[in-house]
Chain A
Amino acid sequence: MENLMAARLQMAFTLGFHIVVACFGVGMPVLMLFAEWRFLRTADSGWRMLAKRWSKAFAVLFAVGAVSGTVLSFELGLLWPEFMAVFGSVIGLPFTLEGFAFFLEAIFAGIYLYGWERLGPRAHLWSGVPVAIAGLASAFLVVTANAWMNAPTGFELASRKVVSASPWRAMFNPAALPQATHMVIAAYIVSGFTIASVYAGSRLRKGESTYRRRAMALGLGLAASFSPLQILAGDWSAQVVAKTQPVKLAAMEGQFRTQPAAPLRLGGWPDERARATRYALEIPGALSLLAYGDRAAVVRGLDEFSPEDTPPVAVVHVAFQVMVAIGSALFFLSVWAGVRALRLRDLPPSRLFLLAVLASGPLAVVSLEAGWVVTEVGRQPWIVQGVMKTSEAVAQARGIPWLLAVTLGIYAILAAGTIAVLRLLAREGAQEAGSAS
C-alpha cells in the first residue's frame, strides 16, 4: 500500500472512532444533568442513582475521547505535514478556541466526577453545566475547521504560502454553520438513541423496572426531540453543498448529466462506466427543488467536471442514501415515541416498539459514519476543495502502512477495554438497581 492510501485510511479510521466517542461527550452530560436535576426536584433517589451510573460511564468515555482526540491532534501534523504547514494558520483559530473548550470540559469534568461528596447538591449540579456547554462548543468548533476544508475562504495564497489571512472569515465560512449545526444535532441523536437502545435491550431481556423505564425515556426524549430538526439541518447542508461543492452534490445524488428539473433519486447504484444511476426510485424535479428551491433549476452533472476532479461516485451516493434512509427511519420512530408519550402514557410498550428502539442506537451510529463518508470522500481528490489535493498534503515518511496496522491493533485494544469496563459498570449498576427497587 502506498502512503496516500494508508494515511487516508488511518485518518478515516481514527476519526471514525473518535467521533462516536466524542458524541457521547456532547450528549451524556445533558442526560446525566437532567437526571440529577430531577433528583433535586423530586428527592427520588432513583434519579440520583441514574445520574451517578451515567457519570461513571461518561468518565470512561471521556478518557477514551480525550486520548483518541489527542491522537488526531498529532496525526494532523504527522500524516498531513504539507497541509498543516500551508494552512495550519488559517484554521488555527477554531482549534485554539477548541483548546479552551477542552480545558473547561476537563476541569469541570474533574470537579463533577470527583465532587459528589465535596460540593453541595446544587453546586454539584452546576459544576456539570460547563461540561455540557464545553462539549457542545468543541464539537461545533472542530467542525468549522472541517467545513473550511469544504468551503475554503478567508486567505490569500501566493506560491504555496499563505500571504494573508482573515481567521474569523475562515472560521465562519459558508459551510460552517450548517455543518456544525448538523453535527451537534447528530451528537445528541447518537447519544440519546444509543442509551435508549441499551435500556430497551435490558427491558427485553430482563423485564421491566422503573430504573430502566426512566433511563430509556430520557435517552429517547433527547434523541426524539432532535431528530425532526436533523432533517431540516441536513437539507440546509445540502443546499450549501449545492452552492459550494456542485461536484459533491452530483456524486451524492448520482447525477451524471447536467439537467434542468433533476429528479431526486432514492436508492440506486451509480454505474460509473455507463455514466448512469440504475435501479433508483426517481421523484421528478425534486432534486432541483430541494437544492435550489426551484423545480426547474439546472443541476450540474458529473460529466461537467474533469474525471480527475471527481470523487468515487458509488461510495458517496450509497453513503448518502444510507444516511437519509436512517434519518427518515429515526424520524418516524421519534413520531411514534412522541405519540406513545402523549397518548399511551400508561400502557407498557409493545415488543415491537422496544425492538425498534433497540435498533435505533446502532442505526444512528451508522448514519453518523455515513454522513462523514459523504463529506470526506465526497471532497476527494481535494483535501482543501479546489485548492490543495490530498496527494500533495501527505507525509513523505516511510512506513505509514505499518503505522496503520499498529493503529488498528491499538484501537482494537481500546475498544475491547472500553466495552469490558462499561459492561462491568452495567453489571454493578444492575445489582444496585436490583437491591434498591
Chain B
Amino acid sequence: MLPETLILLVVLASLVLYAVLAGADFGAGVWEFTTALQATERERSLLYGAIGPVWEANHVWLIFVLVLMASAFPAAFAAACSALWIPLLLALAGIVFRGVGYAFRSYAAGAVRQQALWGGVFALASTAAPFFLGASAGAIASGSLAVAESGRFEGDFVLGWLSPLSLFSAFFAVGICAYLAAVYLAREAYQASEHDLVARWRQRALSTGLWVGVLSVAGLAMVAMEAKPLWRGLALRGLPFMGCSLAAGIFSLWALWKMRFTAAAVGAPAAVAAVLLGWGAGQYPLIVPPALSVETARAPEAVLRAVLWVALGGMVLTIPSLAYLFYLFKIDRRKRPSHEIPYAGTAASPGLRR
C-alpha cells in the first residue's frame, strides 16, 4: 500500500481512539453539566475519579491527528483550518477550559467556592468541545465547504461551515460522548460495588443509547439528502461498517440490560468506531471534499515515508505504555489512589474504592 494511504489509516485509527477515549472524558463532563443540580458527592467522586489519570493521555490523540494531518496532508490541513476557523476556535476554547477546569478543581481541594466554580467551567466546556468538534467533522462530511482546487477557502469565514449536517453532527457528537461515559461509568460503579450508582448510570446509559440510535438513523437519512457524494461512497464501501455499527450498538444495549457491563463497554465504542471508519471509507479518497483528495493534498514522498516510519516506530513505545496506564487504573483495582480523589476518605463516601 502507498505510504499516504497508510498514514491516512493511522490518522483514522487515532481519530477513533480519540473519540472513544477522550469522548468519554467529555461525556463525563456532559453528565456533570446536565445533572448539575441533582448529583451527589459520591456520584461526582466516581465521575471525576474515573477521568483523573487518563484524560491527558487521551487528549494527545487529537494532537497526534493534527500533527499527522499537518505533516502528511498540509494542503488539506490548511484548507480545513481556514474553512472551519470559527468552530475550531470554539472547540479549542472548550478543550482549554475543560482541561484547566478539571485540573484546577482537583487541586483546589478545600476551597469550596473555587472548586464549585471550576467544576462548572469543566462541565460547560466538556459539552462545548465535542459539540464544535462534531460540527467541524459534519462540515467536512457535508462536502459543501467552498474550498477551491488550489486549497484556498473561498466561502464565508463566519458562516461558511454551517449546514444542517454540521449542526446534526454537533448534537450527535455530544450524544455519543454522553453514551460512552454513561456506559463506562456504569462499569466502574459496578466494579466498585456502588449498587445505587450502577442502577443510575445503567438507566442513563440505556436511555441515551436509545436516543443516539434513533439519531444515527436520522443522520443517515440526512446524509442521503444533503451529502449525495458521501452517500454514494457509503453505499459503495461503507455498508459493512454501518452494519457493524448497528450490530455493536444493539449488542451494547442488550449487554447493559443484562448487566454485562464489560461487554457493554466493548460494544459501545465499537459502534462509535464503526461510524467513523464508515465515514472514512465512504469519503475516501477525498480528505476535504469536494476539492482536496489524498492525491492533491499529500506531502512529498520522502516526508510521507519518514512520518510513517516515525509513527509506526513511536507506536511500539507508546502502545504498551498506554496499555499499562489503562491496566493500572481501569482493570487492576487492587489499590486506589485515595489521596488524589477529591472527597475520598471523607465521611460522605464510606466504602468507596476498595
Chain A residues near B (Cβ < 8 Å): 56, 59-60, 62-64, 66-71, 73-74, 76-78, 81-82, 84-93, 95-100, 102-104, 106-111, 113-118, 130, 162-168, 395-399, 403, 410, 414, 417-418, 420-421, 424-425, 428
Residue from B71, B118, B301 in contact with A95 in the complex, judged by beta carbons closer than 8 Å:
B71
Q: Compute how far the CA of A68 lies from the CA of B334 in the bound complex, rounded to whole angstroms.
A: 35
Extra contacts besides A66-B56, A67-B96, A87-B74 (19): CB < 8 Å: A63-B99, A64-B100, A73-B63, A73-B66, A84-B78, A89-B72, A89-B74, A92-B303, A92-B307, A93-B307, A96-B67, A96-B307, A99-B67, A103-B64, A117-B339, A395-B85, A397-B82, A398-B157, A403-B89
A93 touching B85, Cβ below 8 Å: no
Chain B neighbourhood of A62, CB < 8 A: 56, 103
B78 touching A417, Cβ below 8 Å: no
A104 touching B317, Cβ below 8 Å: yes
B66 touching A74, Cβ below 8 Å: yes
B66 touching A84, Cβ below 8 Å: no
B92 touching A74, Cβ below 8 Å: yes
Chain B neighbourhood of A90, CB < 8 A: 303
Majority secondary structure, B binding face: helix
Chain B neighbourhood of A130, CB < 8 A: 321
B102 touching A97, Cβ below 8 Å: no
* Smallest beta-carbon distance B298→chain A, Å: 8
Chain A neighbourhood of B339, CB < 8 A: 116-117
* Smallest beta-carbon distance B23→chain A, Å: 16
B317 touching A85, Cβ below 8 Å: no
A116 touching B337, Cβ below 8 Å: yes
A60 touching B104, Cβ below 8 Å: yes
* Smallest beta-carbon distance B127→chain A, Å: 17
Q: Mark B279-296, 1 if CB is under 8 A from A, else 0.
A: 000000000000000000
Within 8 A of A (CB), among B76-126: 77-82, 85, 88-89, 92-93, 95-96, 99-100, 102-104, 106-111, 114, 118
A421 touching B107, Cβ below 8 Å: yes
Chain B neighbourhood of A395, CB < 8 A: 82, 85
B181 beta carbon closer than 8 Å to chain A: no
Residue from B71, B100, B151, B340 in contact with A92 in the complex, judged by beta carbons closer than 8 Å:
B71
Residue of B nearest to A89 (CB): B299
A82 touching B78, Cβ below 8 Å: yes
Chain A neighbourhood of B240, CB < 8 A: none
B318 touching A100, Cβ below 8 Å: yes
Chain A neighbourhood of B318, CB < 8 A: 100, 103-104, 107
B250 beta carbon closer than 8 Å to chain A: no
Chain A neighbourhood of B340, CB < 8 A: 113-114, 116
Q: Compute how far the CA of A104 lies from the CA of B106 in the bound complex, rounded to whole angstroms.
A: 22
Q: Mark B325-354, 1 if CB is under 8 A from A, else 0.
A: 100110000111111100000000000000
B60 touching A103, Cβ below 8 Å: yes
B303 touching A70, Cβ below 8 Å: no
Most buried by A among B303, B337, B339: B303
Chain B neighbourhood of A76, CB < 8 A: 70
Chain A neighbourhood of B329, CB < 8 A: 110, 114, 118
Chain A neighbourhood of B57, CB < 8 A: 103, 106-107, 110
Q: Compute how far the CA of A86 lies from the CA of B302 in the bound complex, rounded to whole angstroms.
A: 15
Residue of A nearest to B91 (CB): A74
B311 beta carbon closer than 8 Å to chain A: yes
Q: Compute how far the CA of A428 lies from the CA of B88 in the bound complex, rounded to whole angstroms.
A: 38
B111 touching A424, Cβ below 8 Å: yes
Chain A neighbourhood of B109, CB < 8 A: 428
Chain B neighbourhood of A56, CB < 8 A: 107
Q: When A115-B328, A116-B339, A165-B302 are in contact, do A88 and B78 touch as well, CB less than 8 Å?
A: yes
Residue of A nearest to B301 (CB): A164
Residue from A60, A78, A93, A106 in contact with B71 in the complex, judged by beta carbons closer than 8 Å:
A93
Most buried by B among A66, A69, A73, A113: A66
B310 beta carbon closer than 8 Å to chain A: yes
B74 touching A424, Cβ below 8 Å: no
* Smallest beta-carbon distance A303→chain B, Å: 38
A78 touching B89, Cβ below 8 Å: yes
Q: Compute how far the CA of A64 lies from the CA of B97 in the bound complex, rounded to whole angstroms.
A: 10
Query: Can you pick out 16 interface pairs between chain A and chain B where the beta carbons lie within 8 Å of each other?
Result: A56-B107, A66-B59, A77-B78, A78-B81, A82-B78, A84-B78, A89-B72, A93-B310, A95-B67, A96-B307, A109-B56, A114-B53, A130-B321, A164-B300, A167-B307, A397-B82
Most buried by A among B68, B72, B92: B92
A397 touching B85, Cβ below 8 Å: yes
Chain A neighbourhood of B303, CB < 8 A: 89-90, 92-93, 165, 167
A78 touching B88, Cβ below 8 Å: yes
The 4 closest A-B pairs by CB, nearest first: A92-B71, A89-B299, A88-B74, A77-B81
B299 touching A100, Cβ below 8 Å: no
B54 touching A110, Cβ below 8 Å: yes
Q: Compute how far the CA of A134 lies from the CA of B96 in the bound complex, rounded to whole angstroms.
A: 22
Q: Compute how far the CA of A423 lies from the CA of B104 in the bound complex, rounded to whole angstroms.
A: 12
B6 beta carbon closer than 8 Å to chain A: no
